[in-house]
Chains A and B, each alone.
Chain A
Amino acid sequence: MSSTINFAIDLGTTNSLIAKANNGSVAIFKNPSGMKVTLPSVVAFRKDRILIGDKAREYVEKDPANVFASFKRKMGTGESYFIPNNGSFKSPIELSTIILQELKNFIFTGESPASVVITIPASFDTIQSNATKEAGYAAGFREVLLLQEPIAASLAFANREGKSGMEGQWLVYDLGGGTFDVALVVIEDDEMKVIDHEGDNFFGGVDFDNAILTSLFIPYLESRFGITDLATKMLSANGKYNKLYYQLLYKAEEAKIGLSSHNHVEIEFDFTDEAGEDHEVYFSISREQFDAIIRERIMASISFIRNLLTRNHLQPSDITEVVLVGGSTYIPLVRGLLAQELGIKVNISIDPTTAVVEGAAWYAGGRPAKAEPLPIEQQPAIDGSHKKKDEKAVAIEVKTAYQANSRDTEEYLAAIIKNAPAGSNYRITRADGGFDSGLKPVAEKISEMLLLLPNSLNIFNMKLFDAQGFALQVSIPDIMIVQGKFSIYGQPLPHDICLEVDDIENNITHLELIFERNAILPIKKSITKILSRTIAKGSDDQLLINVLEGSRYASPQSNLPIGIVSISGKQLQSDLIKGCDVDLTFEISESRDITVTAYISMIDAEFRQVFNPSARTVNVTRLQQETDYLYRLGKRQLEKLLKNEKYEESAALQQAIKELEAIQEKLKTLSEDDVTDTKYQLDDQKRRLSQVIDAAEKGDRIVDLKEEYYNKKENYRLLLLQTGNTALLQRLESMNTEENSWINNCSTQYLRLKISEMDRLTWNIRKQDISYVTSLYMYYSMKPDEAYSNLSEIKLLKTRGDQALARKNPDEILSIVYRMYELLIDKDREESIKGTGLKG
């Protein structure tokens, strides 16, 4: 059991959020559908289902009788809302309960908290506060602590700035989507208190969007296209311009957001004039224009502050700072006017959208929890009827029937539900967040049309809830439907399909995944690769697109080649220059035909070849290269073994090298267009020998390589900890999880690839570190001028470099270091492989 409450909810008028304090940090949970942290505080009772949040908000204007928003304002009143669609009444407490229960669904960790902190406006009286608590209890929390929103926000700011608390008295200016509040907060006797507050329930970000629409867009369109009374035409539900109203409202919001970080924004949209002619409209809005149309409203909010200060006999100079809360405080004019008009320091150190829930979570993280969480099997009952509920849950039976494969965009699901308690609801969601049935009443037989995402596996979850909204403990298997894809063989791809590419740094080739094992046919993918060396027109040199079947973690030589396209210099009208793009498209049909298309934009030429599994393709040139490579690798390994007097282990290797020599001999006399099956036999032999050499090399090298990989990873982790880059640390964590799938069965090539990846990641961090970049520069500048190929340029570079050091700009210094390296005569370069010609 957790000893502190940890969980906190910002139950807002417009939006609500949920967060958890966790060992000195706060995590804000995201809506599994759409991954936003905010849940609109809106509930819709549609004909046969209940919608909560974003979907409910869509119907606020269209179905106002059955859709409820802003009910927080009515908390603590005796008012109840009548719902025409089901003939029942709902109180603001019941609607808030639905929002709280929905927020609990955001907790992806599976925890079911017993205690929670819920924030309330500073204006809430005792009755309103108790009503909020009641909603919390009804939502299944057994301990509910209330915290005033301005206090919560202040805690978030205090924590961010590392202070134990704020100083003196300060203002919390909260301008959200639809409401405005300002509170005067002070610390008295070690306790943070809201002394006074002011607010406007009908002022927020939406007003600014509307201002852009009515003061800028509409007058412009009216004058340019000679339209009269466009506003009325836009707002009429059946009017010609009703669609335009929603388009422009969205564009207005985009413009508002853009103007928070840019001095002007360009808005473009399509417009059809009264004569039916289409126009592309480009509209530029400057920050000055925007400021001019919203200034009055913001000044009105500042008057609220002046009233508040006068009422409390305070001068602006008595206020230490004003902290900003709510998404609309991103607007520069809000920040500017507050500072300018009141002369008070404006604190913007925290994300204003999440400040309240973040602060509440900090508070929750320091408050001991008094309610013990129930064992899972007893959740979520709160009314002493655990046993009874359990018995009911155990007895519930759910049987589903549906077609597992579908060519349609939606599929019919039928289910029989037996013994569910009266008033229960069910809810079906698609695992990727694209479908949510909402809450629908349970009947013995239910049916639902499930919306399918094309050409993929669609996984749906079905859950049952009792009349109070608590999940019933019943195990229902996932509903899995494959849309649009059938395999003639009735099976997915048995192995990975990979492309062989060059790893120039390590002088080897390695595999790059194209299609993952178990992918369902037919399948298609396009990628763009870069040519790793120049291929001269008329030469024998080849660009090889080698498609292999087998594990992506293995070496290219041990996988089965299933298709190879070779583009030789003889086929070319002009040279292919190193660095040019090669667009590759791979397709595998239901009958396993493989089509490889290569398009080279530089010469505007397309090469296409279809392979089918019954006709194996072996490229003799490639086979020669691979055999030579294996031979060199084997010889090197043999020398090592003999040096260490490991004669027993070297026997198999010696034999393999002999056989490779024999293959090399045979290949010398084999032409590319040989019609016998010799090349297939030789390819089989080569693959078998590759495994022998792989095994010998792997045993020796793998431990060293693994050690190198782990060391580099640890250094990278330490570097991230040092720089405090939490996002990259999280990504490294997910890389660790993925690591388990390959670390014990990968080839040395693959491991080298992962080592290079660690080098690259580390370099991305280091290149921003001025002291590291300076030391690099110093290394090259200390070398004598004679070490470089161009004396005059290197002198110039050194002068420029010394000046750049003073400016401390890592990018500038690095550009000089790169050039110095280019000019270095004696670079440590090894013999390079021939490879495929495709850069990995």
Chain B
Amino acid sequence: MRGNVVIAGVGQTAFGKLPGRGTISLNIEACRNALADAGVEKSAVDALLVKPPTSNPEFMYGSTLATAMGLQPRVGGSWDQGGAANISLISFAAMAIEHGQCEIALVTYADNPRTGSRHAYEKAWGDDAAYGWFGVPAGYAMLARRHMEQFGTTSDQLGEIAVAIRNHGAANPNAQLRQPLTLEQYRQSKWVVDPLRRDDCCLVSDGAAAVVLMSARRAKQMGVKKPVPILGFGQGQTSWEVPQRLDLTHTQAEISGATALKMAGLSAKNIDVAQIYDCFTITVLMTLEAYGFAPKGQGGPFVTGGRLAHGGALPTNTSGGLLSETGMPGLQLVLEGVRQMRGEATTQVKGARTCIVSNQGGIMHTHSTLVLGEPS
């Protein structure tokens, strides 16, 4: 089904601090903008898939949103996979369209942990709270330390990732954090949980994003401008808690990436631009290894020398990612992938024809990959 389903439209809200806005309202604004971008009437939508917000998890959220949007979709609901859910929902929608279960799907996500609750990111890890084991940053720090010990990865190499992505964010007028970063500033950044510094950690943000999917044929009939084909997707669920993982530096992102690239008929060397889930810098480094951009353990040397920066060999997170565009888990990366394929990105990679996008959640518990191509 390579290329049979397209992303016909994208929409978003402002990113940052949005007091007084609930996630339903934010979802609706993003969906309204995505439908307008695609040139699709709401009445044509027959699938509504939504990642539940982290700030206020609630039962049957998909139905609550459908009610607020006046929709009775054929395919609908939400999927709890943490930060991997957005691409997984896009994949599910693509398969549903391919198999005649629905025709036009909205995949949307809104969250407001910045003005609402950020408990999901700071909570205790069960009984291990007795040992002081709390919060999401420490989980990634645990993986980062093992990577450093095992492969000689350095703090400066993580810093190179932060510098490249923050500078992309600085060029994005819609980014929540527009302050660029130098390696020297990174080195002065305070420890949150050593070996991760403040500048290794993503933002906490309010905001929403949405995409409209349909078949390539339908997009052609409707005269959609620049429909972006979905070339491949895949998943891999590491699932196990960090202490139970037999190898802290391998994850099922390898399976996810391999599945998506195989479906697309591509390998890492064919990818022109990457949008890699950067909740923490180490996540980018390990995902690039998992996808085959660098051999296992060589992610550190790979990211040095500006390789991830605009003008480098693999421009990554060209709108600023989670580190500076918005901390929202994942869908903003898909939007930037679409803009790159349309040739409409603020920091456009000239002649980019393929983009890989990663979404993942928990402490690399969940993973989903999307490969996009240029509009035909």
Indicate whether A and B interact: no
List residues of chain B with CB under 8 Å of any chain A CB: none
